[in-house]
Amino acid sequence: MKNRIVTGLFFLATGLLISLGPTYLFKVCETMGDDFMKCHWTARAEIGIGLLLAVFGVISIAVSSVHIRLGLHMGAGLTAILAASLPTVLIGVCAMPGMNCHAIAAPSILVISLLVIVVSILNSIYLLRQSKKSIQDFDRKSNEASSREEQ
Amino acid sequence: MSQQEQSPKGSKKKLGIITIACCNLKKKAVRTSCLMGLVAVLSFTLFSGLILTTSLRGGMESMRQRLGADFMVVPDGNQAKFEGALLRGEPGTFYFGRDTTKILSDIEGIIKTTPQFFITSLSTDCCSYQVQLIGYEPKTDFVIAPWISGQLKKDLEKGELVVGSKLEHQVGDTLKFFGREYVVAGRLQETGLGFDTSVFMNFDTAENVLDDAKIKGIHYRFNKGDSISAVMVKAEEGYDVSAINNAIVDRLREAGIKADVVASRTIVTTASDHINQFIFYVKVFSVMLWVLAVVLLSVVFTFSVHERKKEIAVLRILGATKGKLLQLIFGEAALIGTGGALVGLSLAFLVLFPFSTLISLTLNLPFVLPPPQRIAFLAMLSFLLTGAAGPAASVSSAYRIVKNEIQATMREGE
Amino acid sequence: MLLEVNQLTREYKRGREAFRAVDEVSFTMADGEFVSIRGRSGSGKSTLLNLITGLLQPTGGSVFLDGENIFELDDRNYSYLRNSKLGYVSQVQSALSNLTVMDNVRLPFFLSKRDGEPSERAAALLEQVGIAHLAKAYPAQLSGGELKRVAIARALILSPELLIADEPTCDLDLQTTKEVLEFLASVAQRGTAVLMVTHEADASEYCNRTLFMESGKLVHIASGNPSGIFCSAI
């Protein structure tokens, strides 16, 4: 229960941060006139990806099934990989190192995504163990029940 | 039901001293995380400090090596602007007559001179930011060419560029200035100087850029074909700074040219003074923090050993040797130390490397990150130093445990 | 003889005055004997036990356990002896609070190099002392009587030759006291000698002998076979 809430809130918070950060917090470069730079599109794309991550977080708080949460957390990890690859590989940011998007926005997205990836891997391992345990418990109970029936 | 089934799951694990230490740390989760946090702060600071000082030293060394010119002569009143362009790549434009180069090359003790020409690109061009464009003369140049990575097959031709190491453009890419595209023909190695964010071209290309700028309505205050922004000067081996400095000033005054003379040695000395000061603070801070951490940990360990005298007495009665008790005490301390050190290092990695650009911009000093193997070495060093803080802090409490008679400890623990 | 205590003395200084908490005590014990020591508070019973277990260093005299003088052993050998031949149930709560009941009982097995796995024996012992259901619990969740049982199970995990119990029944209700004493008697019957300090007058019923102490000296033997006892003070 504790794990469910803590990880759910973590994904919700990091999702919102990835989603809104590049636009409001660790801003990408200002747009000049009609000329949109790479980082502008990266920021736009992160809005969607971050929200997806946040929704994963909300659902995983609401759902008690270990298996569904396992799937959600794996999905969250993969989403974070996508979030990290936007400013680095898929779209990129402005080339000049001194620019906001290069010095602040991109590394921030990268670090947050990395944290999400690490947490989702660790928690997936934890949940995997839990699910195995619950399967074992189930097997044991059904074995006991069947042996009782035999008697 | 057999005994086997009755024994709780997981109890089959070996109950070595380290397992007991882990159980103790786990059950006292709050205390453990506080202590680990303290060690984490320590390792974070130590590693960051080491990386910062190494990067700054590297930056300074690189500056010393790569500031190919001994003197730089710029138009009167533009020394600060020039240093901004040279050290930090801050775009700046200033001009004086081209004949300055000739006058300087005649001075005794000066062996090489080469002119440079500075233009500031429009921010809406190419990369949406202002770039310092530097025109140079490949024929006489001794400042830029040595640091072009790989070799240019031929001298830079009209329409070709060399870009600084921090620009992402690769050889063969094009860059656009004032509406015209230019081809990247080479890249510069990292210098830790403003060169890293500058773009280089020959004088013909530079004039081309200026013509295009004029068409776009941007006028630089210069005379076409006659203006340059700076003269880079190389003096003889073992030159006397003040003698040559004076000679330059005198000769230019005679020629009626108002100019500032910047000596590389002075720039290097000034920067190195700043850096040494910074490094000094980092060192003092790190040492203070280490001492503070060891003292705090010592206090906590001493208290906890006091609190745990009974536990220790019990272990002793059950047949634990003094060595085993020491293993327990040092084991717990080492687990806290290594755990905390790992957390601190991971955080430092997460902050230092992704944000290295931001850090170097904020410090405003030449900054070159060390090579990976050096980083690994520094990480290892800080890991060992901070990991050792735990065991170091528990020496006194361990000593007390070993010295005491068991019965005494059992009683005190009651 | 399993245990030989010869002229054992422990002196303390109280201010300038020296006094003997244990004063030239001598006695012996054979395998499987159940001996209790009684006496008023401060008569030196606990000090005597602590000297025998080697937790305290004597001012004079010797203690031979299985033919070895425990005060002449080095730390390693003495620790091994304590671990493998002595079981100790202390007067105060002595379970390690960060380990489960099961792990507390298993613990002595791991303090010296050994092959095998003590879990089965630990479970059996917990069953015998009647707290098998508490194997996964932590000491903080247990009552005083339950903790005493944990301590007894732990003391017996390595089948010691001598079990030393310092007031194992203090703070326990009548019923629990009886159960504990019966259990210790059954332990003695199975061959482990038991030396117990107690205030319980009824305890003598379960013992082969009862030694009485006063001002550090053995003064009286209540019952049992006097041939095995050399008591210098009487």
Let me know: does B378 contact B386? Beta carbons within 8 Å.
Answer: no
CB-based contact B124 A96, cutoff 8 Å: no
**pLDDT (tens digit per residue) in B104-145:** 888 888 888 888 888 887 655 555 567 788 888 888 888 887
**pLDDT (tens digit per residue) in B213-223:** 877 777 776 66
From B312's Cα to the closest Cα of chain C, the distance in A is: 9
User: What's the confidence (pLDDT) of residue A11?
Assistant: 92
**pLDDT (tens digit per residue) in B249-298:** 888 888 888 888 888 888 888 888 888 888 888 888 888 888 888 888 88
User: What's the confidence (pLDDT) of residue B285?
Assistant: 87
Chains C and B touch (3+ CB pairs under 8 A): yes
CA distance B219 to B95: 13
Supply the mean pLDDT for chain B.
81
The first and second tokens of residue B305, run together, are 């050993």
The first and second tokens of residue C64, run together, are 């031979």
Question: Percent of chain B beyond pLDDT 70?
Answer: 90
Inter-axis angle of helices A2-20 and A66-85, nearest 10: 20
| Chain B environment of A14 (Cβ under 8 Å) | none
User: What's the confidence (pLDDT) of residue B128?
Assistant: 54
User: What's the confidence (pLDDT) of residue B226?
Assistant: 78
Long-range Cβ contacts of B348-352 (<8 Å, 24+ apart): B348/B43, B348/B44, B348/B47, B348/B48, B348/B51, B349/B379, B350/A111, B350/A114, B350/A115, B351/A111, B351/B48, B352/B47, B352/B48, B352/B51
The SS3 call for residue C208 is coil
The first and second tokens of residue A76, run together, are 């969250």
User: What's the confidence (pLDDT) of residue B414?
Assistant: 38
Nearest to C137 by CA among C147, C127, C124: C147
Size of interface B-C (CB pairs under 8 A): 108
Inter-axis angle of helices B322-352 and B264-307, nearest 10: 140
User: What's the confidence (pLDDT) of residue B230?
Assistant: 87
| Chain C environment of B26 (Cβ under 8 Å) | 98
CA closest to C57 among chain B residues: B405
CA distance B231 to B265: 16
* B214 CB neighbour count, 10 Å cutoff: 13
Nearest CB to B127; choose among A94, A108, A110: A94
| Chain B environment of A115 (Cβ under 8 Å) | 350
Looking at the complex, does the CB of residue C41 fall below 8 Å from at least one CB of chain B?
no
Q: What is the DSSP letter of C123?
A: H
Let me know: does B281 contact B293? Beta carbons within 8 Å.
Answer: no
Give the pLDDT band (50/70/90) at residue B4. very low
The first and second tokens of residue A39, run together, are 């980082």
Let me know: does A32 contact B124? Beta carbons within 8 Å.
Answer: yes
Instruction: Give the β-pairing of B160-163 and B180-187.
Output: parallel
User: What's the confidence (pLDDT) of residue B405?
Assistant: 58
Neighbours, chain C (3 or more CB pairs < 8 A): B
User: What's the confidence (pLDDT) of residue B354?
Assistant: 86
Give the pLDDT band (50/70/90) at residue B8. very low
Q: Positive or negative CA dihedral for B232, B235, B238, B244? A: negative
Let me know: does B61 contact B247? Beta carbons within 8 Å.
Answer: no
Report CA-CA distances (Å) from C126 to B402, C62, C130. 32, 35, 6
Query: Dihedral through CA B19, CA B22, CA B23, CA B25, nearest 10?
Result: 160
The first and second tokens of residue B401, run together, are 């445990």
CA distance B231 to C113: 80
Three state DSSP letters for chain B: CCHHHHCCCCCCCCCCHHHHHHHHHHHCHHHHHHHHHHHHHHHHHHHHHHHHHHHHHHHHHHHHHHCCCCEEEEECCCHHHHHHHHHHCCCCCCCEECHHHHHHHCCCCEEEEEEEEEEECCCCCCCCCCCEEEEECCCCCCCCHHHECCCCCCCCCCCEEEECCCCCCCCCCEEEECCEEEEEEEEECCCCCHHHHCEEEEHHHHHHHHHHHHHCCCCCCCCCCCEECEEEEEECCCCCHHHHHHHHHHHHHHCCCCEEEEEHHHHHHHHHHHHHHHHHHHHHHHHHHHHHHHHHHHHHHHHHHHHCHHHHHHHHHCCCCHHHHHHHHHHHHHHHHHHHHHHHHHHHHHHHCCCHHHHHHHHCCCCCCCCHHHHHHHHHHHHHHHHCHHHHHCHHHHHHHHHCCHHHHHHHHC
Strand order in the sheet with B160-163: B174-177, B180-187, B160-163, B199-202, B132-136, B110-120, B230-235, B71-75, B259-263
Let me know: does C165 contact C194? Beta carbons within 8 Å.
Answer: yes
User: What's the confidence (pLDDT) of residue B375?
Assistant: 92
Residue B55 CA, distance from chain mean position: 3
The first and second tokens of residue C41, run together, are 């508070």
CB-based contact A95 B167, cutoff 8 Å: yes
Nearest to B141 by CA among B234, B65, B264: B234
CA distance B306 to C31: 38
**Counting beta carbons within 10 angstroms of the beta carbon of residue A144, is it exposed (0 to 12), middle (13 to 18) or buried (19 or more)?**
exposed
User: What's the confidence (pLDDT) of residue B374?
Assistant: 92
Give the CA angle between residues C125, C129, C131 to the nearest 5°: 95
CA distance B64 to B87: 12
User: What's the confidence (pLDDT) of residue B343?
Assistant: 93
From B358's Cα to the closest Cα of chain A, the distance in A is: 5
Give the pLDDT band (50/70/90) at residue B80. confident
10-residue mean pLDDT series, chain A (151 residues) = 85 91 79 69 88 92 86 91 88 73 85 92 88 76 73 63
CA distance C151 to C148: 5
Nearest CB to B127; choose among A95, A104, A111: A95
CA closest to C164 among chain B residues: B317
User: What's the confidence (pLDDT) of residue B409?
Assistant: 52
Residue C220 CA, distance from chain mean position: 20
CB-based contact B354 A97, cutoff 8 Å: no
Neighbours, chain A (3 or more CB pairs < 8 A): B
**Beta bridge mates, B411:** none
DSSP string, A36-76: --HHHHHHHHHHHHHHHHHHHHHHHHH---HHHHHHHHHHH
* Segment of A108-117, B28-37, B82-91 carrying the highest mean pLDDT: A108-117
The SS3 call for residue C43 is coil
| Mean pLDDT score, B209-235 | 79
Q: Positive or negative CA dihedral for B214, B217, B223, B228? A: negative
| Residue ranges of domains in chain C | 3-228
C-alpha neighbours within 13 Å on the C-beta side of residue B155? 12
* B16 CB neighbour count, 10 Å cutoff: 14
Supply the mean pLDDT for chain C.
84
* B149 CB neighbour count, 10 Å cutoff: 13
**pLDDT (tens digit per residue) in B370-413:** 889 999 999 999 998 888 878 888 887 778 777 765 555 555 43
Looking at the structure, give the CATH architecture of the domain made up of residues C3-228: 3-Layer(aba) Sandwich (3.40)
Mark out the alpha helices in chain C (DSSP H runs): 45-52, 75-85, 101-106, 119-128, 144-156, 174-189
**pLDDT (tens digit per residue) in C91-144:** 888 888 888 999 999 988 988 888 888 888 889 888 888 888 888 899 888 888
User: What's the confidence (pLDDT) of residue B303?
Assistant: 80
User: What's the confidence (pLDDT) of residue A13?
Assistant: 93
CA distance B20 to C125: 21
CA closest to B29 among chain C residues: C98
| Residue ranges of domains in chain B | 15-62+271-413, 77-257
**Beta bridge mates, C19:** C12
User: What's the confidence (pLDDT) of residue C232?
Assistant: 32
Predicted structure pTM score: 0.75
The first and second tokens of residue C94, run together, are 């002595």
**pLDDT (tens digit per residue) in B152-206:** 666 777 888 888 887 878 888 888 788 788 888 888 887 777 788 888 888 888 8
Does the pLDDT of residue B16 top 60, yes or no? yes
User: What's the confidence (pLDDT) of residue C229?
Assistant: 37
Query: What value of ipTM does the predicted structure carry?
Result: 0.85
From C5's Cα to the closest Cα of chain B, the distance in A is: 19
CB-based contact C76 B321, cutoff 8 Å: yes
**pLDDT (tens digit per residue) in B362-372:** 877 777 888 89
Give the pLDDT band (50/70/90) at residue B63. confident
